[in-house]
Amino acid sequence: MADSSSQARAAHNAQDMDKTPIAERVNARSLRPNSPAFRHFMTQGWGPEDLHVSPLESSHYIPARLKKLSEAFPGERLIIPAGMAKVRNNDCDYAYRPDTTFAYYTGLGEDYEQGAVLVLEPSASGTGHTPLLFLHPRDDWHTPEFFRSAHYGEYWVGARPGLKEFHTMTGLETRPISELTQLLSTHVSSEPGGVKLRIIKEADPRLTRMVENIREFNGFTNHIANEQSDDELHQFAAEARMYKDEYEVKQIRTAIETTRRGFDNMLRHLDTAIGKPRGERILEGAFNMVCRYEGNALGYDTIVASGDDAPTLHWMRNTHTIGANDVLLSDAGAESLGLYSADITRTFPVNGHWTKTQRMLYTAVYKAQLAGFEAVQLGNTYSDIHHAVMRSLATDLHDWGVLPVSVEESLRPEGQYHRRWHACGCSHHLGIDVHDCAEARFSRYQGGKFAPGMVFTIEPGLYFRANDELVPPEFRGIGIRIEDDVLVTKDGARWMSKDIIPSAPDDVEKWVQEQRAHAGEEVL
């Protein structure tokens, strides 16, 4: 039993803790030891750890990317933060993923180093930059943060690469994060000969505020102009990513292969899911498990939409019961360890056989996708995919008697009646982001000519909602989308996914039947 003096000390400590500001009370849920004896004891008696690392495959491609970035902004200091983990609730974060621009220019995928910052430091001669990677040093057992820091303490997060290891992995010069503020403030001036700062401002709001304070203190007081300057940096990075190198193409292909195995696993769980409450989530889990095992994670949240859910473009609740005769639409993609995403949609007959109406609608979408692919010719523009897909769909809608006007009238900008059944886009660039290069200029994106290295989706669909009284009753409640990933080469366009993941009507039937015959067998 505690003596009276111990009880008094405990009561006094509790009163002190009650006065702690709410923002600092996160650790009130646990009683952490903090005596001098404990702190000393925790830094003793630990053996060496093996942190052997090798150069990342991506490191061979980073110099070329950084050279182009350097040439675009001579004499300027460029700041590219990795960002921090986002709060999910209270003191729990979402799984960390580095900012896209940081990942592209460092080659660091997975969850290597939150809080890191890449700086391109202009050379004194005014030509070229020195890339510097600022990192939090290891909080191993030599430091008290070993057991204190939930973000970096290795008692909490495991052994981390240090500055030396990150240099080996990336080929970049590394420095401790404690030196960052001084460097960012050095020689900044709006006067001739001074250094101008640009930052990827969305990645780390705290660092962006600090950079803006430095700019304002040194004469860059036009905040709108500063934002525009930062946007130009982000825009350049997005447009640079429109042309994938060999490493990036390989990463996307790996993600596609993982996605195929994820779909296989999903189909093998169909019998388990049919008729079950929230059965869509059984298939979601089957797909997601493969992606997490083979890759980094998902490229985006998995859509599993059966029956009347299928015409809902972004059905992500995945809460409904799957019927044995449903059409099932799943939009899903794995993310590789290098953070590159696949983006594939397949529409299945749950029982393995199309009805006459289902096959007719599916074939129309399949035909529209092929028309979009045929438009991918060197010299054509990216928007030609859209026009080819829309003409094909409008023609079929007209032939079925659904379109209330002629095909040509519907295709005019002032018409667009066919878009009732396809109101979304039918293509987007693909890469580190599933909707990659979104910050690019419209003229470079929609108006950009096809060029080797471009990777994008082609994803036409037809979406007939259950309450749509302008279509035949047999169409209602059917949603179909077919999405595949395309690479442009010097010899023209190539499907990246169609040879790996079946999509022709007969092949899809056969695929469903084959995988259901393997129900209960492991894909991995």
Average pLDDT over residues 282-310: 97
CA 359 from chain centre, in angstroms, equals 33
Tell me if 227 sits within 8 A of 215, measured CB to CB: no
As given in the structure block, the two tokens for residue 253 are 């292909």
For residue 12, the model assigns a pLDDT of: 55
| Average pLDDT in the chain | 94
Question: Which position has the token pair 């890759």?
Answer: 295
For residue 269, the model assigns a pLDDT of: 97
For residue 15, the model assigns a pLDDT of: 64
Q: What SS3 class is residue 135?
A: strand
Q: Which residues contact 90 (CB under 8 A, 6 or more apart)?
A: 26
% of the chain at pLDDT higher than 90:
83
pLDDT digits (tens, 9 = 90+) for 196-239: 999 999 999 999 999 999 999 999 999 999 999 999 999 999 99
pLDDT digits (tens, 9 = 90+) for 145-178: 998 888 898 888 888 999 999 999 999 999 999 9
For residue 328, the model assigns a pLDDT of: 98
Nearest to 348 by CA among 426, 428, 269, 450: 269
C-alpha to C-alpha distance for 373 and 494, rounded to whole angstroms: 9
Q: Are strands 303-306 and 297-298 parallel, antiparallel or unpaired?
A: unpaired
Nearest to 78 by CA among 90, 70, 68, 86: 70
The one-letter amino acid at 297: A
For residue 150, the model assigns a pLDDT of: 85
For residue 27, the model assigns a pLDDT of: 59
Q: Which of 86-90, 141-145, 467-471 has the highest mean pLDDT?
A: 467-471
Q: Report pTM.
A: 0.94
Tell me if 58 sits within 8 A of 65, measured CB to CB: no
Answer yes or no: is pLDDT of 2 > 60: no
Q: How many alpha carbons fall within 13 Å on the CB side of residue 159?
A: 11
For residue 151, the model assigns a pLDDT of: 84
Tell me if 350 sits within 8 A of 273, measured CB to CB: no
For residue 193, the model assigns a pLDDT of: 87
Structural domains of the chain, ranges and CATH numbers in brackets: 57-240 (3.40.350.10), 246-517 (3.90.230.10)
**CA quadruple 60, 65, 71, 76: dihedral sign:** negative
Q: Are strands 297-298 and 334-335 parallel, antiparallel or unpaired?
A: antiparallel
CA 338 from chain centre, in angstroms, equals 11
Local structure of residue 193 (DSSP, 8 states): T
Tell me if 241 sits within 8 A of 252, measured CB to CB: no
Answer yes or no: is pLDDT of 125 > 90: no
Looking at per-residue pLDDT, the higher value among 39 and 398 belongs to 398
C-alpha to C-alpha distance for 100 and 233, rounded to whole angstroms: 13
Backbone angles phi, psi at 173, to 5 degrees: -65, 130
For residue 300, the model assigns a pLDDT of: 97
pLDDT digits (tens, 9 = 90+) for 333-353: 999 999 999 999 999 999 999
C-alpha to C-alpha distance for 515 and 500, rounded to whole angstroms: 15
Nearest to 315 by CA among 182, 152, 238, 424: 424
For residue 51, the model assigns a pLDDT of: 86
